[in-house]
Amino acid sequence: MTRTQVATAPEAATDYADLSEQLSLGESDTNQRHHDGHAVRAKFITPLDPVIETQDGNRLPAVPLQEAHKLNVLKAKAGGRTLPAPSAKQDSSKRHIKRETEDEHDASAQDDNLDLAIAPLRTHPLFPPLPLYGPPSLLRNAHCLLFRITSFFLSTGFLLVIVLGALFTSIPPILSKLWKLLTFRDPDAQRPFNEEEKARAATRKQEERQWSEKRRQAKRRSKSSDTRASEPSPAPHTQYTPLEGGPDKLLCDGKYYARRVGLEMEKFKVQTEDGFIIDLWHVYDPTEQRPSTSKEKAEHGPEIFKSESNEPQPIPEGQKRYPVLLIHGLLQSAGAYCCNDDDSLAFYLHKAGYDVWLGNNRCGFNPQHTLLKYTDPRMWAWNIRQMGVMDLPALISRVLGETGVDKLGLVAHSQGTTQTFVALAKEQRPDLGEKISVFCALAPAVYAGPLIGKMYFKFMRVISPGMFRIFFGIHAFIPLMMFMHARLPAKLYGFMGYKVFGFLFNWSDERWDRGLRDRFFQFSPVYVSSESMRWWLGRECFAKHKCVLSTREENFHEEEEDESPERDREAQDEGREEKNAGKDDKGRTAWYDKRAPPFALWVAGSDDLVDGRRLLRRFERGREPYVNVVHSKVIDEYEHLDVLWAMDAIEKVGSEVRDVIWKTMSKRDKERCRRIDGGHKYG
């Protein structure tokens, strides 16, 4: 038996005090034991995701399962409570010790079945434990400083190699373009939207001149009438009058681009269950809605789907907008949905009639936590699991609270789909599916594409976890990228961003409007943790298993089933039979249970980064009997980012997203909310 099991109450109290100090924000003050940030107990968000509750009501993230369980057991033992041993037959991730006594004045005596969860003997191979960093000490600070020094030089060298590689591979296309110009040929003749691209550029130039002329007229009227008129007079023939105009300023500001299409944007603060403060952007029509106050936009407490929300602004029945939440991809921000004028998915969905909200993940452009500071390694001890289990539910909770509805439409791209697929899994937070009317996955990132075998990614997979931290640190991943983002001229940064990311992820701007391309990269990269990148590219997790929810062995079994056309037909027949005869057998190996929302998928057929076709096969073969795929589409010519930025993305993706959300809304919501422009096709 362990010391925790046999310890007397006084011994348990001493052990509890010692462990509590190890898990607290800082070292204890001998004169004030329970200072702000002092660990009180472990709160289990899921059976595998504990956080630390502190004396001042805040939360600390990233505590190992065994430590969290031990803290709660010692606290209970020190309080004189008897803890009956669990049955050996119970599943290790779901066993709970039942309390014999209940003290309603004790904060630890809340109605939470996970409070005293028995820690599993091992964690899932796809989600190994995160490192535990205790409170600041001389040794820990020296340790962190060493990693910051080594990672600065080594990661900068790695980034320099990538930049040089991107520039070197740009030489042949540049020479080819010069040769065509010298021989009096159009170097862009083969681009799919060459003529439309030129027409759009001419239209933007004309609109810039008109805007500048209106501003000059407004200034002249202002001087003659001795009044101030900072904006041009509205154009009576347009429904949405631009609130900004003129030459593109290339700003990292979603509000600026919203105003260019006649809309407004406001930023809410959202607190996750482990204490991170993240940004939630809201697009609205200033002619319909007043802006929220600072108090209304401030973060609530860490509890989700329980805390009081702001009273939604009164809207007549039948005129309410149905909420849609958009989640961005890796190294991006919500600005990826806002930088394409009226072809931006966020603005398009709003003008179609939806209430559009854009979620950002933890840290983003401005890392914030209720307790932790940028230099604390605990600020960066997270990966895709925490983004799915903590960030996504917090964002959904806030949107539902602000809009006063029961469900929303969820649209995600790339890594945003990953965190959603992780969150909805039956081992994580499957109840979240009951808050989502449909999950629209754009370029779904579940299975790895061939790009994972590239030399620079293979290097990250070869080195050990210890070497990875020496190269890339234990804080933010290559923070020099953010330094360059803040200081390079916007046009130069846009060019370099496209070249570097295009080199890394093997995409091109062939289908984009190049006149707007520099905008696209003003909103990336953002701060991400080294642990998150290690999850994607290190030797233990995604890069090894090439899937976010299945191990390498399970994937190999799937590949064997997919070998021949005969097996393909048999698997489809078996899948249909199992769906008709009963779902329990297949459901045991499925990722999702009956709480999963309807899925809709748009797969980029020329995407080297992820393999969306393989995900579609999983659904087609009946491996997910509880998942209802209401829409699926493969766009053969599309690359990874074309689902957002291609010049025909609204036609091939956006309009279908609009209609699928309307189709899957409940009858009651269709009656309460305004009719969607185009949604009539589904009745």
Q: State residue 497's pLDDT score.
A: 93
What letter would DSSP give residue 282? E
Q: What is the DSSP string of 162-223?
A: HHHHHHHHHHHHHHHHHHHHHTT--TTTTSTTHHHHHHHHHHHHHHHHHHHHHHHHHHHHHH
Last residue of a domain, one of 206, 225, 246: 246
Average pLDDT, the chain: 85
For the segment 243-287, what is each residue's pLDDT rounded down to a tens digit?
A: 998 888 999 999 999 999 999 999 999 999 999 999 999 999 999
200 and 284 inside one domain: no
Residue 570 · residue 563 · CB < 8 Å: no
509 and 637 inside one domain: yes
Confirm whether 41 is domain-assigned: yes
The confidence band for 566, taking pLDDT boundaries of 50, 70 and 90, is: low
Confirm whether 75 is domain-assigned: yes
345 and 324 inside one domain: yes
Confirm whether 367 is domain-assigned: yes
Residue 56 · residue 36 · CB < 8 Å: yes
Cα–Cα nearest to 642, from 506, 546, 548, 529:
506
Catalytic residue among 413, 640, 642, 659: 640
- Global pTM reads 0.89
Residue 57 · residue 79 · CB < 8 Å: no
119 and 215 inside one domain: no
Q: State residue 78's pLDDT score.
A: 83
Catalytic residue among 15, 607, 611, 659: 607
Q: Which of 408-412, 513-517, 528-532, 568-572 has the lowest mean pLDDT?
A: 568-572
Q: Which of 34-38, 269-273, 425-429 has the lowest mean pLDDT?
A: 34-38
Confirm whether 431 is domain-assigned: yes
Confirm whether 641 is domain-assigned: yes
Catalytic residue among 414, 437, 524, 529: 414
Q: Which of 18-22, 107-111, 206-210 has the lowest mean pLDDT?
A: 107-111
202 and 95 inside one domain: no
289 and 232 inside one domain: no
Q: Catalytic site residue 414?
A: yes
575 and 647 inside one domain: yes
Residue ranges making up the domain that contains 103: 3-123
Confirm whether 657 is domain-assigned: yes
The confidence band for 571, taking pLDDT boundaries of 50, 70 and 90, is: low
For the segment 43-55, what is each residue's pLDDT rounded down to a tens digit?
A: 999 988 999 999 9
233 and 332 inside one domain: no
223 and 344 inside one domain: no
Q: State residue 564's pLDDT score.
A: 63
Confirm whether 414 is domain-assigned: yes
Last residue of a domain, one of 88, 107, 123: 123
Q: State residue 405's pLDDT score.
A: 92
Give the mean model confidence (pLDDT) for residues 506-516.
94
211 and 353 inside one domain: no
What's at 506, amino acid-wise?
N
Q: State residue 212's pLDDT score.
A: 83
Confirm whether 85 is domain-assigned: yes
Share of the chain above pLDDT 70, in %: 83
Give the mean model confidence (pLDDT) for residues 415-422.
98
Q: Could you tell me whether strands 323-327 and 355-359 are parallel, antiparallel, or unpaired per DSSP bridges?
A: parallel
Q: State residue 576's pLDDT score.
A: 54
Give the mean model confidence (pLDDT) for residues 589-610.
96
389 and 479 inside one domain: yes
pLDDT score of 672 more than 80 = yes
For the segment 623-668, what is each residue's pLDDT rounded down to a tens digit?
A: 999 999 999 999 999 999 999 999 999 999 999 999 999 999 999 9
565 and 491 inside one domain: yes
Last residue of a domain, one of 123, 158, 178: 123
How many distinct structural domains can be found in the chain?
A: 3
Cα–Cα nearest to 524, from 509, 542, 539, 502:
502
